[in-house]
């Protein structure tokens, strides 16, 4: 408290032009009481500047003790103001980016693949208490028609990232077994997708699963992997959730299950309107 408020060297800063506490009493010894007074008498912008100034004062003290450097009061005030402005700009940019991302998610819909290709959406659901996961895979043609749908379960899985890795590996294994050569794999697990797409070997706990998936992609030059928002991955998500309630692996070919029927129709219609 002495360094921040009572010290004569610090008073040089508080008495600078532009300071809102020029004439304040310097005998306060309880920082919480001082902060309460500041909250009562200053507006939000002034309060934010005081918070930055307190940090600058402490850093000025450290610079003097450890580096024998002394920053003049005017410079402390100026750098505090500049730092606060930079912080607010960064916050504004971050909030703007979040807003844009939120709007993008709201507008996101499943997009059909180009002619001659299929799209493979995959997802995982997790039952942490039961230590098991559900897998959902849907393969659709360039008209949005369901070709193959899969619900499966894997036991002894608790980690969400591991669950997503297993789901993607099952999806690529399925397409390999079906001799599908032109496919776009799409999921909402960004960290898994980025791990598969990077050249370096994955050294994490789920590294062996990532390397397995890479093996399949390396063997199939016309396979592509891309990220999509959860809002564009609803059919695979429904299948993954349903998988947890089924007793065994279930595969549908051409005739799709009723519980995803409405989603398939809606997404197909959205693509027809966009065409």
Per-position pLDDT tens, the chain of length 275: 777 777 777 777 777 777 778 777 777 778 888 888 889 988 888 888 888 888 888 888 888 788 878 778 788 888 888 888 888 787 776 766 666 666 655 667 899 999 999 999 999 999 999 999 999 999 999 999 999 999 999 999 999 999 999 999 999 999 999 999 999 999 999 999 999 999 998 888 889 999 999 999 999 999 999 999 998 999 999 999 999 999 999 999 999 999 999 999 989 888 876 65
pLDDT for res 165? 96
244 and 130 share one domain: yes
91 located within any domain: yes
**Number of Cβ within a 10 Å radius of residue 226:** 11
77 and 164 share one domain: no
For residue 149, CA distances in Å to 77, 136, 249 come to 64, 8, 11
57 and 145 share one domain: no
Name the pTM for this structure.
Answer: 0.65
229 and 129 share one domain: yes
Rounded to 5 degrees, what are φ and ψ at 190?
Answer: -60, -40
Which residue among 60, 95, 130 closes a domain? 95
234 located within any domain: yes
122 and 201 share one domain: yes
158 and 229 share one domain: yes
151 and 30 share one domain: no
Whether 234 and 122 have beta carbons less than 8 Å apart is answered as no
pLDDT for res 241? 97
58 and 165 share one domain: no
101 located within any domain: no
172 and 85 share one domain: no
Whether 202 and 212 have beta carbons less than 8 Å apart is answered as no
How crowded is the C-beta side of 201, counted as CA atoms within 13 Å? Answer: 2
67 located within any domain: yes
108 located within any domain: no
Which domain covers residue 42, as residue numbers? 2-95
Per the structure, the count of domains in the chain is 2
């Amino acid at each position: 408290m002495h360094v921040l408020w009572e010290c004569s060297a610090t008073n040089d800063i508080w008495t600078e032009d532009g300071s809102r506490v020029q004439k304040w009493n310097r005998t306060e010894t309880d920082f919480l009481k001082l902060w309460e007074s500041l909250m009562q008498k200053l507006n939000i912008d002034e309060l934010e500047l005081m918070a930055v100034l307190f940090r600058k004062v402490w850093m000025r003290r450290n610079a003097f003790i450890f580096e024998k450097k002394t920053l003049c009061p005017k410079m402390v005030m100026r750098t505090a103001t500049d730092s606060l402005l930079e912080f607010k700009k960064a916050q504004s940019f971050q909030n703007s980016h979040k807003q844009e991302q939120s709007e993008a998610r709201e507008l996101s819909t499943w997009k059909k693949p180009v002619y001659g290709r299929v799209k493979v959406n995959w997802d995982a659901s997790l039952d942490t208490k039961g230590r098991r996961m559900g897998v959902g895979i849907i393969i659709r043609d360039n008209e949005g028609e369901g070709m193959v749908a899969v619900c499966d379960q894997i036991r002894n899985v608790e980690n969400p990232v591991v669950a997503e890795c297993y789901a993607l590996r099952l999806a690529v294994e399925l397409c390999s077994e079906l001799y599908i050569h032109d496919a776009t794999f799409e999921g909402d697990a960004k960290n898994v997708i980025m791990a598969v797409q990077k050249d370096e070997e994955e050294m994490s706990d789920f590294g062996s699963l990532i390397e397995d998936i890479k093996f399949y992609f390396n063997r199939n030059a016309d396979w592509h992997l891309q990220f999509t928002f959860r809002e564009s991955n609803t059919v695979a998500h429904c299948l993954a959730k349903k998988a947890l309630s089924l007793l065994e692996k279930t595969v549908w070919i051409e005739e799709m299950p009723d519980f995803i029927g409405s989603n398939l129709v809606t997404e197909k219609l959205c693509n027809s309107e966009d065409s």
